[in-house]
Every structure is written in structure tokens, then in C-alpha cells.
Chains A and B, each alone.
Chain A
């Protein structure tokens, strides 16, 4: 189902023409209005008028999270506060939060993009949207809210928390579309079962749009089975616009980026060079239409790739793969970029293991070695050496096929790998370089 078929399935050449026109406009505008971009462009010797093709974007300097923090609160705004009708901010776990603004037109664009996102999951004006994303400075709640209202669905602005009540409302109001983080959807499902509901009989849910945190294919399967729904991955970040940057279609194979409003690039986070399609790298966005706070070649630190080829759904907008990690965690082993999250996603897919692991990197002679320590799962512990060896081999093969480098897998006793809230200590790098 399409919200805006003319745009979403638009001819590639025409789409790129539109992007180029908008790119030139936004570069000229930020050069004029935002001192930070003027300084960056001048320092790099980049003249916004020199852009004649989309490819010329590689000459434009990057912007970063640090730029946003240094501009706290409003220095990256390209309009005066008089024109800003909304302000959101990220939570800022490290240092100052990042602040973003929206003009009336930005809000309209955001609603359009979220309408597309929700329509991907099959949402129509007949639906009841249970919106359990947080409302407030976080962009999730209001983003979904405006998109669902634009479609004409009935929105339940329940926000987060009070799960028992959520479950009851979901049953009594007949919610059909669920919007929340993937982990919360599972928690809702479990709470419903505990409260005596049978989600597939007592709920009218048919689909969910899930984002704002990393999740895996096996988690999708679990959500789809537990709640008897279609589960769609959505992506966004407040610096770019909030949710609505990209969303999966029903093919569930990559998230279509709303390319009429955002230019996506994938770069090697080490060199800054553009990576070929299909290669993992850091996602970089340029907003093409945003008025209040345009962002130019913004380094998201999110790791993904652009999926080559076209999608059977007929949408022409490029697809990005499910975000598989953050650049902050990247390791370079034998010249290959390795992200701990890649290993985590492999382990999540293997039923016999828990996704608790420790990576030990060493240099032996001139060769880097990577050892992956994995905890044995109590449920699957066998007392036969050969089945443990078979498990080690299975894990090793799966990891090697993803990483393209050889690894050693070592089974360790359960609960011996350190766990910590949030960022667990996953890597021990013993190389002396």
C-alpha cells in the first residue's frame, strides 16, 4: 500500500533531478544562513555553486554530532525562532543534548513522511493506531501521531508506561496498529498473556511499526508470532527529522529511504570515502528540504549499507539495510571493518546460544586474530564433546560468512561474560600497535 504512489514509485532519473535541484538550493541556503556551514565550506575551499551533479556531494564537508552539541541550543538553525513552531531534543546521555527545530512546513513534511511509513504497514483511515512511543522532547510520539492523523486513523496517544492499562485499552478500543519500540511490543505481549488475554484472539492488531532501537530478524519473528501481526522496521533520528527517514515495505527486505527529502550516502568511517552499494559503512544524510535546521552530510554513526537492485514493491527509493551497529564500536582486523553488532546478530539467529559474547583481538606475528567467546546455553548443553564441537563450528562458519575473516570460537561457562546496563564491554583489544 502506498500513501503517495506518484512520489514513492517515481522514475529514478526524475527523482535524481529533483534531488539535485533541492541539493543546490539547500547548500546555497545554509551557506548564507548558518555560520557553522559557511566556516566549514570556506575552510574546505568548497563553493556551493560548484555543484552540478549529485556525485559532487563528495566535495562537501561532513557535519557531526559534535557540531550539533557545540551549536547548542539554536546555532545551527537556518531560520529565526519566530518561524519555528516546534522544538525537540535528544536525551544526550553523553554531554549536551542536540536540539532540533521545525517550521510549519517542516511539520507538514514530517507528517507526510510518517503517513508513508504507517501506510507501508497497511494503515488506513479505518485503523486505530495505538501509539506507545514517548510523547515529549523525543520525536517518536509526535512523529507517529501526526502521520496517523494525516492518514485519518484514530490515534490513541497512550505514550509509554502503565502497561496493564495499555493492554486493556488495546483490547477494549480494538487497536489495529501498534507503534512502539520492538522490545516494548514483546513486553506488551507478555503482559497481555499474563493478564489472561490471548493476543491473537482478543486483540484486533494487524501490524506494528517498530524502531528507535536495534533489533533482529529473530526478534521480528517472535513479535509477529506472539502478537499475530506484521512487524515493520522504521528508522529515523531527530537530527535528520525524527522517525520517517526510512521504513520497510511489506517485503521486509531493507528500509526505503524517503529520497525526495533526504540524500543518503554510505561512507567508510575511517577514510570518509564513499562505499560501493552493498558494502557496510556509516550512514550519512543530507536533508534536501528541511527549513529550520537543514543538515548537510551528517554522520549518523549508524552502520548499514545500501541494498543494490530494485524492490518488488515498485517503490524506486533506495533501500538501506537494517541498522547493524554504531561506528563507535568498530574494530579493524586485518584491514576489515568489524562491528561487534554483526557478531551479536549472528548469535541471535543461532538458537543454541545466548547473545552474550566477548571479542578478543590479538596480534600474533604480523597477523591479527579474533577470538569470539560465547557462553554455552544451559538449555542446549550436551555432554558429548562432538556436539559441542559441532556447535562451535556452526557459530564459526556463520560468523565467518558475515565478517569474511577467519575467527576462533571458544565456548565459555555461562554468566562468565560481564554484563552491564547499556553498553556492555564486548571487546578486549590486546594488540600493541
Chain B
């Protein structure tokens, strides 16, 4: 349960994101999903990678500010209303979503929702009991290609 997501602080400088992904690629780390939250001055690159610990070591050694957060990965069936159903379920249970991003998985006709929720464990139980598929870390690393 709970997937390691890596967050990296980045100044909004041209080519900075490319530099970082190139570095990871060179060290054999596969970035499965990438989402950048940004402001005028800086951004936070959030990533799901296949080797989280190695990615952290590589980035830190190169002077990046890195942070590891636990996120939830849920399967969102590829039909209208399925995401909003999940969200209202969490909302009713007073589980606050800090942020959320989605990736489509065309091969399996589903999307993958990555969610940051304070109470990961409670959210997982709730979603599973309602028949939503919450993915294990290994699944996510292998699915997102």
C-alpha cells in the first residue's frame, strides 16, 4: 500500500527539468510518471520512478533538494464519472486530498490516479472496501511505462 513519490525542488530555469531527467536516465532510472506543480519562481517536480531509493541518492549527490512522500495510486475506470465518485467518497469520509494527478493507461483502458492524502491507511481501507483498486508499489512501477 502507499507508493513512494519523489519530489524535487526546481528553480524555473530553462532546461532544468531536462537536466534532471537526463541525469536519472543516464543512471538507469526510469521515470514512470512526472508532474510539475509550479509557481512564478520555482516548481516542484513530482515523480514516480522504478527505483525510488536509487533516484534519491543520485539526485542528492548532484545537489538537488529531494523529498520522499507516500502517495496512493488508484485505478480509475475509463468512463465518465468514475473519478468524481472516488473523490466524493473520500470527501464524505473527511479525507483531505492535498493534490491529485492522473495518467491514462490506454492498454488497459483505465487511468491511474496519484493522490496525496494525509491518512493514507484509512483512505486505502475505505477505497478497497468500496471496490476501488488501490495499487501496490510494484504494480505501479511496472504498469506505468
Contact = CB atoms under 8 A, between A and B. Distances in A.
A380 to B, nearest CB: 10
B39 interface: yes
Nearest to A415: B63
A362 to B, nearest CB: 15
A388 B98 CA distance: 14
A378 B41 CA distance: 18
A14 B62 CA distance: 66
Contacts of B98: 384
A383 B42 contact: no
B69 interface: yes
B91 to A, nearest CB: 19
Contacts of B37: 385
B39 A413 contact: no
Interface in A383-418: 383-385, 388-389, 410-416
A414 B42 CA distance: 13
A353 to B, nearest CB: 12
A376 interface: yes
21 contacts: A376-B9, A376-B65, A378-B66, A381-B7, A381-B66, A381-B67, A382-B67, A383-B67, A384-B98, A384-B116, A385-B39, A385-B44, A388-B42, A389-B39, A412-B11, A413-B11, A413-B63, A413-B65, A414-B63, A414-B65, A416-B11
Contacts of B64: 413
A414 B9 CA distance: 9
A16 B11 CA distance: 57
B10 interface: yes
Interface string B113-145: 000100000000000000000000000000000
Interface string B32-73: 000001110110101000000000000000011111010000
Interface of B: 5, 7, 9-11, 37-39, 41-42, 44, 46, 63-67, 69, 98-99, 116
A383 B69 contact: yes
Contacts of A378: 65-66
B80 to A, nearest CB: 29
A384 B71 CA distance: 13
Interface string A99-118: 00000000000000000000
A395 to B, nearest CB: 13
B7 A383 contact: yes
Nearest to A416: B11
Contacts of A410: 41-42
Given A413-B11, A413-B65, A415-B63, A383 B41 contact: no
B94 to A, nearest CB: 19
A394 to B, nearest CB: 16
Contact of A388 (B44, B46, B66, B69): B44
A416 B98 CA distance: 29
Nearest to A413: B11
B65 A381 contact: yes
A390 to B, nearest CB: 12
Contacts of B44: 383-385, 388
A352 to B, nearest CB: 12
Nearest to B16: A413
A35 to B, nearest CB: 58
A384 B99 contact: yes
B8 to A, nearest CB: 9
A382 B116 CA distance: 13
Contacts of A381: 7, 9, 65-67
Nearest to B68: A383
A410 B67 CA distance: 20
Contacts of B99: 384
A384 B65 CA distance: 13
A414 B44 CA distance: 14
9 A-B pairs closest in CB distance: A383-B7, A381-B65, A410-B41, A381-B67, A378-B65, A383-B67, A385-B37, A383-B69, A376-B9
Contacts of A382: 67
A413 B99 CA distance: 23
Most buried by A among B10, B41, B46: B41
A411 B98 CA distance: 21
A385 B63 CA distance: 20
Contacts of A416: 11
Given A382-B67, A383-B46, A383-B67, A413 B41 contact: no
